[in-house]
């Protein structure tokens, strides 16, 4: 597959919902070719002598490794930046207490240095749900170069792309009428909504039947739920949401078990992580185990990792023969290479 001029050239990616379906497929199909021809010469100079700026408000295993390696394999360089080592505004504080250098000025400098920018900003670096999304969009406002979300409080576009790339490998390239069950999992990590919400959006764009199950009080973003319903209606899939920890598994093709925080996680501008963990661990029925997986249609187990084993899923499921979590983790590298090549190359 030869690279050609793309509508993604110079385009930011904060969520796949803001890409066209053709753009989503362009990334995935190029990623599949890049996986097959990982070290081929045809992709080795796409970012020749260019640097990609990687801005991590929160730490990461897969995201940093995969993006840094992606830049290298495209002939460029990934530069790791930790905001704690800089004099930046403290975005989890009220405006009058933030101090530091403004987003406008930081973005202006980045424009002069890099071919693109990635930002990771999760729950404990902000003072309320939605603030991370606002911050990324403020950076994007002042950037002339493409910005990609490395995961923030609302969305995780690269994870969503990696997910469906994995489903295409294991289920078939036509995902229409494939059923994916997103199941809340009790856990000790108090996770953000970004991965599951991105999965709902991109799955519904590709014609999949989308199910969601969670306990009362763990509602997802109302706008994302409405977008998912509209996507399903437009692309021929179905959408169901309920509060039963077992029924959601019935005849599912893919099970996506993931913990996420409740609607009460932020109180008085503070993320109450310990309270969230204590509350979540009481829901012991909400674990993906072998008995529930037997209700599926020989279903695959999917997860964006890291898996909170023995809470979100048992070891038998996470390490079992139907688990595709490592394939999907690998796919992060390939979809990110494809996006960077199309938007920054």
- Per-residue pLDDT for the chain (345 aa), expressed as one digit of tens each? 556 789 999 999 999 999 999 999 999 999 999 999 999 999 999 999 999 999 999 988 899 999 999 999 999 999 999 877 666 656 555 555 655 788 999 999 999 999 999 999 999 999 999 999 999 999 999 999 999 999 999 999 999 999 999 999 999 999 999 999 999 999 999 999 999 999 999 999 999 999 999 999 999 999 999 999 999 999 999 999 999 999 999 999 999 999 999 999 999 999 999 999 999 999 999 999 999 999 999 999 999 999 999 999 999 999 999 999 999 999 999 999 999 999 999
Structural domain includes residue 141: yes
**164 located within any domain:** no
- 29 burial type by CB count under 10 A (0-12 exposed, 13-18 middle, 19+ buried): middle
Is residue 179 located within the same domain as residue 311?
Answer: yes
Does 176 share its domain with 269?
yes
Residues 195 and 55 reside in one and the same domain: no
The residues with which 267 forms a beta bridge, in sequence order, are: 270
Q: Give me the pLDDT at residue 83, please.
A: 78
* 49 and 95 together in one domain: yes
Residue 312, domain CATH: 3.40.50.1370
* pLDDT for 86: 67
In this structure, the answer to whether residues 214 and 315 fall within a common structural domain is yes
Could you tell me if 241 and 307 lie in one domain?
A: yes
Total structural domains within the chain? 2
Q: Give the model's pLDDT for residue 2.
A: 55
- For residue 29, being part of any structural domain is answered with yes
pLDDT at 3: 65
What DSSP state is assigned to residue 55? Answer: E
Question: Is 333 within a domain?
Answer: yes
Are 277 and 335 part of one and the same domain? no
Whether this prediction's pTM lies above 0.85 is answered by yes
pLDDT of 188 reads 93
Asked, for residue 336, whether it belongs to a domain, the answer is yes
User: Dihedral (C-alpha) 297, 301, 302, 308: value to the nearest 10 degrees?
Assistant: 140
- Asked if 105 and 79 touch (Cβ cutoff 8 Å), the reply is no
- Shared-domain flag, residues 275 and 149: no
Same domain, 207 and 234: yes
Same domain, residue pair 84 and 210: no
Range of the domain at 125: 16-155+329-344
- What pairs with residue 53 in β-bridges? 79, 117
Q: Kindly state whether residue 9 falls inside one of the protein's structural domains.
A: no
Angle at 71 between CA 146 and CA 80, to 5 degrees: 80
Rounded to whole angstroms, the Cα distance separating 260 from 330 reads 23
Q: Are 308 and 195 members of one domain? A: yes
Q: Which two tokens stand for residue 82?
A: 């930790």
**Rounded Cα distance, 122 and 289, in Å:** 28
**Residue-wise pLDDT tens digits, 74-131:** 999 999 998 776 666 565 555 556 557 889 999 999 999 999 999 999 999 999 999 9
Classify residue 5: in a domain, yes or no: no
Do the Cβ atoms of 120 and 148 come closer than 8 Å? Answer: no
């Amino acid at each position: 597959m030869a690279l050609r001029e793309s509508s993604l050239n110079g385009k930011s990616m904060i969520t796949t919902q803001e890409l066209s379906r053709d753009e989503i497929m362009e990334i995935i199909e190029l990623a599949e070719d890049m996986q097959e021809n990982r070290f081929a010469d045809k992709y080795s100079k796409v970012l020749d002598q260019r640097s990609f700026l990687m801005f991590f408000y929160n730490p990461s295993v897969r995201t940093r490794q995969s993006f840094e390696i992606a830049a290298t394999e495209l002939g460029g360089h990934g530069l790791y930046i930790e905001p704690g080592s800089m004099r930046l505004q403290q975005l989890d504080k009220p405006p009058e207490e933030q101090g530091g250098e403004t987003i406008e000025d930081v973005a202006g400098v980045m424009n002069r240095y890099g071919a693109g920018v990635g930002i990771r900003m999760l729950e404990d670096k902000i003072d309320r749900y939605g603030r991370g999304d606002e911050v990324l969009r403020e950076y994007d406002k002042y950037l002339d170069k493409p910005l990609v979300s490395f995961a923030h409080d609302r969305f995780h576009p690269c994870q969503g792309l990696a997910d469906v790339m994995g489903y295409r490998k294991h289920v078939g390239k036509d995902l229409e009428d494939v059923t994916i069950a997103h199941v809340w999992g009790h856990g000790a990590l108090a996770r953000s909504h970004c991965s599951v919400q991105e999965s709902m959006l991109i799955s519904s764009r590709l014609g999949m039947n989308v199910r969601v199950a969670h306990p009362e009080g763990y509602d997802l973003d109302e706008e994302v739920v409405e977008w998912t319903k509209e996507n399903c209606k437009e692309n021929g899939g179905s959408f169901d949401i309920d509060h039963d920890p077992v029924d959601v598994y019935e005849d599912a093709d893919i099970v996506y078990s993931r913990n996420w925080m409740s609607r009460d996680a932020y109180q008085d501008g503070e993320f109450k992580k310990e309270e969230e963990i204590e509350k979540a661990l009481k829901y012991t029925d909400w674990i993906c185990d072998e008995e529930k997986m037997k209700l599926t249609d020989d279903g695959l187990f999917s997860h964006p990792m890291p898996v909170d084993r023995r809470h979100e899923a048992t070891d038998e499921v996470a390490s079992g023969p139907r688990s595709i979590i490592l394939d999907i983790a690998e796919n992060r590298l390939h979809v990110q290479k494809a996006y960077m090549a199309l938007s920054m190359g």
